[in-house]
Chain A
Amino acid sequence: AQSVTQLGSHVSVSEGALVLLRCNYSSSVPPYLFWYVQYPNQGLQLLLKYTTGATLVKGINGFEAEFKKSETSFHLTKPSAHMSDAAEYFCAVNDRGSTLGRLYFGRGTQLTVWP
């Protein structure tokens, strides 16, 4: 089974600062990779995904993530944080061999943005 590790359950940044949320996966075969965001009292919303092709993936709200096979990582970044980015962020993967795409999630990282 896949294992997903998100380093740091809480990350705090100032408005305008760089956001970096870390995600590592365990599989030796690169899976499909996803970042989801959850705002208070809402469901999980897809930020971005990597399946094939370019390893730097751009998502919504100015976020991007880079797939690094050698590091088994898929870290999420945003150059300049905004107050509205405060939310919980989940990294998730599924197996390429899994037709129906069962997702394995990390524990989540709560992002706080200070004014």
Chain B
Amino acid sequence: EPEVTQTPSHQVTQMGQEVILRCVPISNHLYFYWYRQILGQKVEFLVSFYNNEISEKSEIFDDQFSVERPDGSNFTLKIRSTKLEDSAMYFCASSGTRTGVSREQFFGPGTRLTVL
């Protein structure tokens, strides 16, 4: 069964460093998302991406964040200068095929980012 994959599973970084979180969405999906979950808090939407551009972003997704689909398979989230409060589990999701817009989002296992 197709699934969303994410690498790495755990990333530890120093404050101020850049990190790139990687995702491989399901191959025929067209819509891509990043969410995050700070420990003990809700899962929060960060950004959605369609047709090679951001379609929606939350107030969390400031200039420190960027997304990219560098090739036909990967979808990345970059944090330019990490802060302590960026420590969270980051989930990638994908949905939607050319035959219709499915509102079901398929989630990856997450990347746990720890900023020291």
Contacts and interface: CB of A to CB of B under 8 A. Distances in A.
B45 A43 contact: no
B109 A107 contact: no
A14 interface: no
Chain B interface size band reads 20 to 34
Nearest to A98: B56
Contacts, number: 60
B110 interface: yes
Contacts of B106: 46
A102 B45 contact: yes
A49 B104 contact: yes
A44 B107 contact: yes
B56 A44 contact: no
Contacts of A43: 4, 6, 91, 107-110
Interface in B48-78: 48, 50, 55-56
A66 B44 CA distance: 25
Which of A34, A44, A104 is most buried by chain B, counting CB atoms within 10 A of its CB? Answer: A44
Interface in B73-114: 91, 93, 95-96, 101, 103-110
A103 B109 contact: no
Interface string A41-53: 1111110010100
B42 A107 contact: yes
B61 to A, nearest CB: 12
A21 to B, nearest CB: 15
Interface in B1-59: 4, 6, 31, 33, 35, 41-45, 48, 50, 55-56
9 contacts: A42-B109, A43-B4, A44-B93, A99-B101, A100-B48, A100-B50, A100-B101, A101-B101, A108-B42
Interface of A: 32, 34, 36, 41-46, 49, 51, 90, 92, 94, 98-108
